[in-house]
A and B are shown apart, each in its own frame.
Chain A
C-alpha cells in the first residue's frame, strides 16, 4: 500500500501562539497512497500541524520537505504549487455563488470581457463529478447539504495536468466530518480511500476513533504539542490509542470496575491541581432535591434529548470534544436558543422558553465561552461591564442611575474577585489582561442572587496564576452552596473541579461518570463514541 519512500516529511516542527506551545519538535513522514490520521485531544496540536503543512501557519522552527523540495514556511502559495491542498471549515466558501464559481474563484475563465460561464461549468463539472455526479454545479453552493459542500471543497483540490495526472500530491482534511451526518461521513470516507488508492497522500485530522479504524492506514498521535507515536492502524487497538492520547498506562473502559483506588487512575497533573484547589468541604448530597432540572431538552441540529440534575453546592462538569453541543446546551438552558424544546426548572419553576430575564430572575447566571464576542462591552467602563445585567435594580423607578450604589457594588466585586484595573469607570475591558477580563465576567454573574451558574471554558486563554485564582473562586462558591455547571476542554481542570461529570457528544449526553469513575480515559472513550439513534431502535 505504501511506497517505501515518503513524499512529505515534516522535521522538528515547533510552533508557538503567544504563551502556548502548540507544537514542540514534531517529526512525521507521510507516504504516497496512504491515509494518515493525526489524532489527539483538543489542543494537542493536530490541526496546527495540518495548517503548517498547507502553509496556513508559519512554523517557528523546523522544515517541511515535499519530494525533496523545502517549502517556504507560512506560504500558502508555495505549498499550493508544490501540490498540497487543505480542506477545512474555516476556509471561506461563498454560499451565495454557484458551485462552479466557487470552484473557479482563483481563475475565472473569460471570453473577451465577459465571464465564460459555459467553460466555467465544464471545468467545475469535471472536478466535482469525479466524486459525485449528482451535484448540479450551477446551483448556489449554499443550497447543497453540508456533506456535498465538503465534497465540493475536496473536488476543488482535484485539478489535473493536461496529461490527466493529478496536480495535488497531498490533501489535508481538517475535521472533515464534524458537521456531517453518519451517512454523509461514510460517503466522505469512501472518497478518501478512493483518492488514496490513486496515489495521493491524505492527511486526516480527526478525533473520531471509529473513522480512524474505518479509513486510515496509519495514525500519528500528538499530545500537548508533542509527538507520541505513529502506528499502523491494523496493528493497534482503541485502548492503546486512547492511552497514547492521554499519556499513561491505564485500564480500558471495560476494566473500569477494577479501579479500586480511584486516585491512582487520575493523572498526576489532576492530583496536583486538586491539592492546590482543595477539595469540597463536605460531599454533595446527591439525594437532595436538585436545584436545576433539565428534562428532554432538544434543539434542531444542536441538541438531542438531554437530561441532567444539578444539586446545590455541586460542580457538575461537562466533558466532550469540540462540537459536542456543550455550549449549545448552555444556550438552550439560558434561553438564548429560542428553538429549544423540553423543560428546564430552577427550584421547580419552569424557565425554558420564557426569556433570558426570567432565567436571570430565577437565579441563573451564564459566563459564555467567548468573552470578547459574547461577554464584554469594549466601549463601556469596567463598572458598567460588571453591572450590565443588574443596573436596572440599582436605579430609581424612573430609571435614573444611582451612581453611589453602583460604585459601591462594583468596588466590592472588584475587591472580592481581585480584578486589577486602574479605574472603575474610566478603564475599558480592552485595557485589561485576559485573566482580568475573565474575572470581570465571573464577577458579573457570581453574585448573591445567583443560584445556578453556567461556566463555559472559564479559563480559556489566560495565565496560570489567574487560572488558579478562578479555580479557587469556583470551589469556594460551590462550598457556599452555589450550583455550578462547568464546561471545560482542559481535562485536568475538569477532573479536579467536578464532583460529577457528564460526557457529551453529537448533541447528546453520552454518559455520566461518578467521582470514582472520573478519568480522562473514560471521558474520551465516551466522547468518541458513535452517534446513537435512540428513536430509530
Chain B
C-alpha cells in the first residue's frame, strides 16, 4: 500500500500484474481461487470419492487382455489381468487395470473407475458452472439494469413463464423432431415471451414514471400467477415434460468427455456478448452515462427513456434464453421454476461489483459473482452441511461482498 502511494500516480505502463490487480474483477477471481484451493485441499485430506466412467468401444476396435508381462491374451482370469489393449485402425490405446474395473463384453464397454478429489474433479466443476449458468445469463442483463440505477424483481417470474410457454410448444412436437427445428423454435418462443415481458417492465416504468421497483414487483406476482394458471388450465398439471430427445440429450444436454458443457458455453458466450455491448457500443456507454448522471445524460441529448426500455427488454430476453436452456437440461418445466431467482441474480450482480446507486458494474463481475454463489453452495454440500444453511451463508456473503467493495471505493476516492 505504501509502495503504491510513493509510485508516480500516472504511470502509463504499469507491470502486467499490477494492471491485472487494478481490475475490478481481480478481487473476485482471488476469492474464487481461494475457495477452490481450500476445497481442493479438503478433498486431498479426506478419502477420495469413486467416479465411474463408461468407455464405449468403436465397433471396428479389437480388444485384448494383458498380463503382468505385457503379453496379449484373448481371455484371462480376472485376477491376472494387468490391463487392456484396444486397437483401432492400427492405433493402440492401453488401459491399466488400476483404473478399469472390468470389461463388459456384451456392451463392448470398459468400465473405468477412478478415485477423484471430491471437489476438484471434472464433473463437479462443470456442475458448478452449469448451476451458475441459469442465473448468470440473467445476471448479464441485470448488470445493465443496475448500472442504470434501476432494479428488476420480475426476472424469476419471467423465467418461469418463458419455461412454461416454451414447454407447451416443445411437448407438442413429434418426438423424432430434429434439433435444427426444436432448438430454434424453443429459443424463439422463450425469448419472445421474455422480450415482451421485459419490454412491458421498461415501457410501464418509463411511460408511467413509476419506479421500476414497483412495476417489477407487480410483474413478479402477475407473471408467477400466469405461470401457475396456464398449465393448470390447459393441462391440469404442475409440470410439463416430454420433449424431443434431439432438444435435450441431443443438444442442450449433449455429453462430451463425460460432462455436459453446452450450458456453460452458452453462458460464456452470453457474458462475452454482454461485455462487448456494454463497453464497445454506443448503447452500452449510454447505459453508463444515464446511470452516472441521468440529468446530465438528458442535457447531453441521450435518449434516456429509449435506452432504459431497451435494457429492461434485453433482460427479459435473457430470462427467455435461460429458461430455454433449463428446458433442454432438465427436460421438463415446473410452475415454480425460477422461484426467488431475482435474489440470486441481484446478489450475483452486486457481489460482482455493481453499485445499486448506478453508474458502475461489469458483466464479467456478475458472472464471477454467480460462480461464487454456486461455489458457496457446493462448499456446504461437500462439508455435508444441511442445505437450509445455504441461505444464511449466502446472505452473509452478499453483505460482506458489498461492504468490502464500498470500503475499497471509499479508500480509492480518498486517494484521488
Contacts and interface: CB of A to CB of B under 8 A. Distances in A.
A400 B293 contact: no
B292 interface: yes
A377 B295 CA distance: 10
A380 B289 contact: yes
A377 B281 contact: no
A379 B291 contact: yes
Interface string B285-300: 1101101110111111
A373 B295 contact: yes
Contacts of A366: 299
B123 to A, nearest CB: 38
Contact of A368 (B10, B299, B359): B299
A377 B292 contact: yes
Nearest to B281: A399
Contacts of A359: 301
Contact of B285 (A374, A375, A380): A380
Interface residues of B, number: 26
B359 A379 contact: yes
B64 interface: no
A401 interface: yes
B18 interface: no
Contacts of A272: none
Contacts of A334: 299
Interface string A369-409: 00001111111100010001101100100111100000000
Contact of B295 (A360, A374, A379): A374
B301 A391 contact: no
Given A377-B292, A422-B10, A360 B285 contact: no
A444 B289 CA distance: 14
A433 to B, nearest CB: 13
A379 B298 CA distance: 16
Nearest to A365: B301
Interface in A328-359: 334, 336, 356-357, 359
Contacts of A368: 299
Interface in A61-87: none
A297 to B, nearest CB: 19
A430 B301 CA distance: 22
Contacts of B359: 377-379
A337 to B, nearest CB: 11
Interface residues of A, number: 31
A423 interface: yes
Contacts of B414: none
A375 B281 contact: no
Interface string B70-113: 00000000000000000000000000000000000000000000
B219 to A, nearest CB: 27
Contacts of B282: 391-392, 395, 399, 401
Given A379-B360, A391-B282, A336 B293 contact: no
Given A357-B301, A360-B301, A431-B416, A376 B281 contact: no
Contacts of A395: 281-282
B302 interface: yes
A374 B416 contact: no
Interface in B253-289: 280-283, 285-286, 288-289
Nearest to B293: A377
A401 B300 contact: no
Given A376-B293, A380-B288, A336 B299 contact: yes
B303 interface: yes
Given A379-B291, A379-B359, A431-B416, A391 B285 contact: yes
B296 A400 contact: no
A390 to B, nearest CB: 9
A399 B279 CA distance: 11
Closest 8 A/B residue pairs (Cβ) = A379-B292, A379-B359, A388-B300, A377-B292, A422-B10, A389-B301, A360-B301, A399-B281
Interface of B: 9-10, 12, 280-283, 285-286, 288-289, 291-293, 295-303, 359-360, 416
Interface of A: 334, 336, 356-357, 359-360, 366, 368, 373-380, 384, 388-389, 391-392, 395, 398-401, 422-423, 430-431, 444
